[in-house]
Structure 1
Amino acid sequence: MTQTDIATDETNRLIASNKVEGTTVYNREGEKLGSIYNFMVDKRSGKAEYAVLQFGGLLGIGSDYYPLPWDVLTYDTDQGGYVVGLDKAVLEKAPRYASGNEPTFDREYGRGVYGYYGINYPF
Protein backbone atom coordinates (compact mmCIF):
# COMPACT_ATOMS: atom_id res chain seq x y z
CA MET A 1 0.00 0.00 0.00
CA THR A 2 1.37 3.40 -0.91
CA GLN A 3 0.72 6.69 0.81
CA THR A 4 -1.59 7.74 -2.05
CA ASP A 5 -3.83 4.77 -1.22
CA ILE A 6 -4.57 6.18 2.25
CA ALA A 7 -7.44 8.64 2.58
CA THR A 8 -6.12 11.95 3.84
CA ASP A 9 -9.44 13.37 4.91
CA GLU A 10 -10.99 10.43 6.75
CA THR A 11 -10.02 7.10 8.27
CA ASN A 12 -12.02 4.67 10.37
CA ARG A 13 -11.03 6.68 13.48
CA LEU A 14 -10.08 10.19 12.33
CA ILE A 15 -11.69 12.85 10.18
CA ALA A 16 -10.28 16.07 8.75
CA SER A 17 -11.68 19.33 10.08
CA ASN A 18 -12.96 20.39 6.65
CA LYS A 19 -15.18 17.30 6.58
CA VAL A 20 -16.63 18.03 10.04
CA GLU A 21 -17.56 21.60 9.17
CA GLY A 22 -20.92 21.58 7.43
CA THR A 23 -21.93 18.15 8.77
CA THR A 24 -25.60 17.96 9.70
CA VAL A 25 -26.64 17.65 13.34
CA TYR A 26 -29.83 15.77 14.21
CA ASN A 27 -31.74 15.17 17.42
CA ARG A 28 -32.57 11.60 18.48
CA GLU A 29 -35.85 11.73 16.58
CA GLY A 30 -33.94 12.27 13.33
CA GLU A 31 -34.98 15.92 13.04
CA LYS A 32 -32.33 18.19 11.52
CA LEU A 33 -31.22 20.85 13.99
CA GLY A 34 -28.52 22.55 11.95
CA SER A 35 -24.94 21.93 10.92
CA ILE A 36 -21.46 22.18 12.38
CA TYR A 37 -20.12 25.64 11.63
CA ASN A 38 -16.71 25.00 13.15
CA PHE A 39 -15.17 23.51 16.23
CA MET A 40 -12.87 24.79 18.91
CA VAL A 41 -9.78 22.78 19.87
CA ASP A 42 -7.74 23.19 23.05
CA LYS A 43 -4.29 24.29 21.90
CA ARG A 44 -2.43 22.32 24.53
CA SER A 45 -4.31 19.04 24.71
CA GLY A 46 -5.49 18.93 21.11
CA LYS A 47 -8.92 17.86 22.35
CA ALA A 48 -12.00 19.30 20.66
CA GLU A 49 -13.79 21.35 23.32
CA TYR A 50 -16.80 22.63 21.38
CA ALA A 51 -18.62 21.98 18.17
CA VAL A 52 -20.29 25.22 17.13
CA LEU A 53 -23.74 24.45 15.74
CA GLN A 54 -25.25 26.85 13.24
CA PHE A 55 -28.99 26.81 13.92
CA GLY A 56 -32.02 28.89 12.97
CA GLY A 57 -32.52 31.50 10.30
CA LEU A 58 -33.21 30.80 6.66
CA LEU A 59 -30.48 29.35 4.46
CA GLY A 60 -27.89 30.43 7.01
CA ILE A 61 -29.12 34.03 7.09
CA GLY A 62 -30.07 35.16 10.57
CA SER A 63 -28.88 31.97 12.17
CA ASP A 64 -27.13 31.90 15.53
CA TYR A 65 -24.17 29.86 16.71
CA TYR A 66 -24.48 27.42 19.60
CA PRO A 67 -21.30 26.05 21.20
CA LEU A 68 -21.97 22.44 22.16
CA PRO A 69 -19.62 20.45 24.37
CA TRP A 70 -17.97 18.01 21.99
CA ASP A 71 -19.00 15.13 24.25
CA VAL A 72 -22.74 15.68 23.60
CA LEU A 73 -22.24 14.74 19.94
CA THR A 74 -22.32 11.18 18.64
CA TYR A 75 -21.54 10.41 15.02
CA ASP A 76 -24.22 8.28 13.33
CA THR A 77 -22.94 6.57 10.21
CA ASP A 78 -26.47 5.69 9.06
CA GLN A 79 -27.50 9.35 9.01
CA GLY A 80 -24.10 10.63 7.94
CA GLY A 81 -24.18 13.25 10.68
CA TYR A 82 -23.95 13.95 14.37
CA VAL A 83 -26.76 13.20 16.82
CA VAL A 84 -27.43 15.07 20.06
CA GLY A 85 -29.90 14.21 22.78
CA LEU A 86 -31.53 17.66 22.61
CA ASP A 87 -34.78 18.90 21.22
CA LYS A 88 -35.24 22.30 19.63
CA ALA A 89 -36.85 23.80 22.75
CA VAL A 90 -33.74 23.05 24.83
CA LEU A 91 -31.45 24.26 22.07
CA GLU A 92 -33.37 27.51 21.60
CA LYS A 93 -32.60 28.46 25.24
CA ALA A 94 -28.97 27.35 25.09
CA PRO A 95 -25.95 29.67 25.20
CA ARG A 96 -25.43 31.18 21.77
CA TYR A 97 -24.01 34.12 19.89
CA ALA A 98 -24.74 36.01 16.69
CA SER A 99 -22.34 36.31 13.78
CA GLY A 100 -19.70 38.90 14.55
CA ASN A 101 -20.34 38.68 18.30
CA GLU A 102 -18.17 35.70 19.20
CA PRO A 103 -17.71 35.25 22.94
CA THR A 104 -14.43 35.02 24.76
CA PHE A 105 -14.01 31.26 24.94
CA ASP A 106 -12.41 31.37 28.38
CA ARG A 107 -12.90 29.11 31.41
CA GLU A 108 -15.83 31.12 32.78
CA TYR A 109 -17.65 30.91 29.46
CA GLY A 110 -16.83 27.21 29.20
CA ARG A 111 -18.22 26.46 32.64
CA GLY A 112 -21.47 28.23 31.67
CA VAL A 113 -21.85 26.32 28.41
CA TYR A 114 -20.95 22.94 29.87
CA GLY A 115 -23.14 23.65 32.92
CA TYR A 116 -26.15 24.34 30.71
CA TYR A 117 -25.83 20.80 29.35
CA GLY A 118 -25.18 19.30 32.80
CA ILE A 119 -21.55 18.46 32.10
CA ASN A 120 -18.56 19.33 34.29
CA TYR A 121 -16.17 21.64 32.49
CA PRO A 122 -12.98 19.58 32.23
CA PHE A 123 -10.49 22.24 31.14
Structure 2
Amino acid sequence: MSILPRISSATALHGIPVVSPSGRKLGTMDDVVVGVATGRVLHAVVALDEASELGERYYAVPWEALTFDPAYDRCVLNVPIETLRAAPAFPSRDALNDADPRLRRMLNDHFGEYRSAAA
Protein backbone atom coordinates (compact mmCIF):
# COMPACT_ATOMS: atom_id res chain seq x y z
CA MET A 1 0.00 0.00 0.00
CA SER A 2 1.24 3.46 -0.90
CA ILE A 3 2.24 5.99 1.73
CA LEU A 4 0.70 8.63 -0.58
CA PRO A 5 -2.99 8.83 0.27
CA ARG A 6 -5.55 10.50 -1.97
CA ILE A 7 -5.82 13.31 0.58
CA SER A 8 -2.80 14.55 2.47
CA SER A 9 -1.46 17.37 4.56
CA ALA A 10 1.31 19.42 3.00
CA THR A 11 3.68 18.39 5.77
CA ALA A 12 3.14 14.72 4.89
CA LEU A 13 4.49 15.45 1.40
CA HIS A 14 7.75 16.89 2.74
CA GLY A 15 10.60 14.60 1.75
CA ILE A 16 8.69 12.64 -0.92
CA PRO A 17 11.14 11.81 -3.76
CA VAL A 18 10.80 13.89 -6.93
CA VAL A 19 11.88 12.21 -10.15
CA SER A 20 12.15 13.11 -13.82
CA PRO A 21 9.69 11.60 -16.33
CA SER A 22 12.34 8.93 -17.03
CA GLY A 23 12.43 8.03 -13.30
CA ARG A 24 15.76 9.67 -12.48
CA LYS A 25 15.77 11.00 -8.91
CA LEU A 26 16.09 14.77 -8.84
CA GLY A 27 15.49 15.53 -5.18
CA THR A 28 12.63 15.80 -2.72
CA MET A 29 9.47 17.80 -2.13
CA ASP A 30 10.45 20.54 0.29
CA ASP A 31 7.25 22.55 0.54
CA VAL A 32 3.80 23.12 -0.91
CA VAL A 33 2.67 26.75 -1.18
CA VAL A 34 -1.06 27.51 -0.88
CA GLY A 35 -2.95 30.71 -1.64
CA VAL A 36 -4.58 31.40 1.72
CA ALA A 37 -7.53 33.36 0.28
CA THR A 38 -8.43 30.64 -2.24
CA GLY A 39 -7.09 27.49 -0.64
CA ARG A 40 -5.56 26.44 -3.97
CA VAL A 41 -2.02 25.17 -4.33
CA LEU A 42 0.15 27.77 -6.03
CA HIS A 43 3.43 25.94 -6.45
CA ALA A 44 5.73 23.38 -4.93
CA VAL A 45 9.29 23.84 -3.82
CA VAL A 46 11.61 21.05 -4.90
CA ALA A 47 14.92 20.59 -3.10
CA LEU A 48 17.37 19.02 -5.49
CA ASP A 49 19.93 16.51 -4.30
CA GLU A 50 23.19 18.21 -3.31
CA ALA A 51 25.00 16.26 -6.02
CA SER A 52 22.77 17.73 -8.73
CA GLU A 53 24.51 19.17 -11.76
CA LEU A 54 21.76 21.79 -12.06
CA GLY A 55 23.48 24.26 -9.78
CA GLU A 56 21.14 25.90 -7.28
CA ARG A 57 19.30 23.68 -4.88
CA TYR A 58 15.72 25.02 -4.57
CA TYR A 59 13.28 25.34 -7.46
CA ALA A 60 9.71 26.62 -7.36
CA VAL A 61 7.63 24.67 -9.87
CA PRO A 62 3.94 24.97 -10.80
CA TRP A 63 1.81 22.42 -9.00
CA GLU A 64 0.34 21.38 -12.36
CA ALA A 65 3.82 20.28 -13.50
CA LEU A 66 3.78 17.49 -10.87
CA THR A 67 2.11 14.10 -10.93
CA PHE A 68 2.00 11.80 -7.94
CA ASP A 69 3.00 8.20 -8.55
CA PRO A 70 1.58 6.24 -5.60
CA ALA A 71 2.83 2.92 -7.00
CA TYR A 72 6.38 4.07 -6.17
CA ASP A 73 5.64 6.66 -3.45
CA ARG A 74 7.12 9.48 -5.47
CA CYS A 75 6.28 12.60 -7.40
CA VAL A 76 7.11 13.03 -11.10
CA LEU A 77 8.16 16.47 -12.34
CA ASN A 78 6.73 16.50 -15.85
CA VAL A 79 9.13 18.93 -17.47
CA PRO A 80 12.28 18.22 -19.45
CA ILE A 81 15.48 18.49 -17.42
CA GLU A 82 16.54 21.37 -19.70
CA THR A 83 13.43 23.30 -18.66
CA LEU A 84 14.22 22.76 -15.00
CA ARG A 85 17.88 23.65 -15.57
CA ALA A 86 16.79 27.06 -16.93
CA ALA A 87 14.08 27.66 -14.28
CA PRO A 88 14.32 30.27 -11.52
CA ALA A 89 16.45 28.73 -8.78
CA PHE A 90 17.49 29.67 -5.28
CA PRO A 91 20.52 28.78 -3.13
CA SER A 92 18.44 28.33 0.04
CA ARG A 93 14.81 27.97 1.07
CA ASP A 94 15.05 31.34 2.82
CA ALA A 95 16.02 33.01 -0.46
CA LEU A 96 12.72 31.98 -2.07
CA ASN A 97 9.96 34.50 -1.26
CA ASP A 98 6.71 32.62 -2.01
CA ALA A 99 4.58 35.75 -1.55
CA ASP A 100 6.53 37.83 -4.10
CA PRO A 101 4.29 38.35 -7.17
CA ARG A 102 7.46 38.48 -9.28
CA LEU A 103 8.01 34.79 -8.48
CA ARG A 104 4.62 33.89 -9.96
CA ARG A 105 5.42 35.95 -13.06
CA MET A 106 8.81 34.21 -13.40
CA LEU A 107 7.13 30.80 -13.13
CA ASN A 108 4.48 31.77 -15.67
CA ASP A 109 7.11 33.10 -18.04
CA HIS A 110 9.26 30.01 -17.69
CA PHE A 111 6.78 27.12 -17.39
CA GLY A 112 3.79 28.74 -19.11
CA GLU A 113 0.56 30.05 -17.64
CA TYR A 114 -1.02 28.20 -14.77
CA ARG A 115 -3.91 29.16 -12.53
CA SER A 116 -2.82 31.47 -9.76
CA ALA A 117 -3.88 30.42 -6.27
CA ALA A 118 -3.70 34.04 -5.17
CA ALA A 119 -6.34 35.20 -7.66
Same fold (TM over 0.5): yes
Q: TM-score range by the shorter chain?
A: 0.7 to 0.9
Which of 86, 105, 111 is matched with 2:105 structurally? 111
Deviation at 1:121, TM superposition (A): 4.9
RMSD of the TM alignment (CA)? 2.4
1:98 and 2:91 are equivalent in the alignment: yes
Q: Distance in 2 between matches of 1:46 and 1:39?
A: 12
- Determine the structure 2 residue equivalent to 1:22: 15
Structure number with greater CO (CA < 8 Å, separation at least 6) is: 2
- Conserved 8 A contact 1:56-1:63: no
Deviates more, 1:112-121 or 1:100-109: 100-109
- Conserved 8 A contact 1:110-1:121: no
Give ranges in structure 2 of 5+ residues lacking alignment.
none
Q: Distance in 1 between matches of 2:75 and 2:88?
A: 19
1:85 and 2:78 are equivalent in the alignment: yes
Computing the radius of gyration from Cα coordinates, the structure with the larger value is 1
Give ranges in structure 1 of 5+ residues lacking alignment.
1-9
Q: Distance in 1 between matches of 2:70 and 2:101?
A: 33
Q: Distance in 1 between matches of 2:5 and 2:60?
A: 26
Distance 1:38 1:102, change over 3 A: same
TM-score of the aligned structures, taking structure 1 as reference length:
0.77
Count matched residues: 112
TM-score of the aligned structures, taking structure 2 as reference length:
0.79
- 1:1-123 matches, within 5 Å, as 12-58=5-51, 64-99=57-92, 100-103=94-97, 105-122=99-116, 123=119
Partner secondary structure for residue 115 of structure 1: helix
Letter of the 1:82 counterpart = C
Deviates more, 1:24-33 or 1:80-89: 80-89
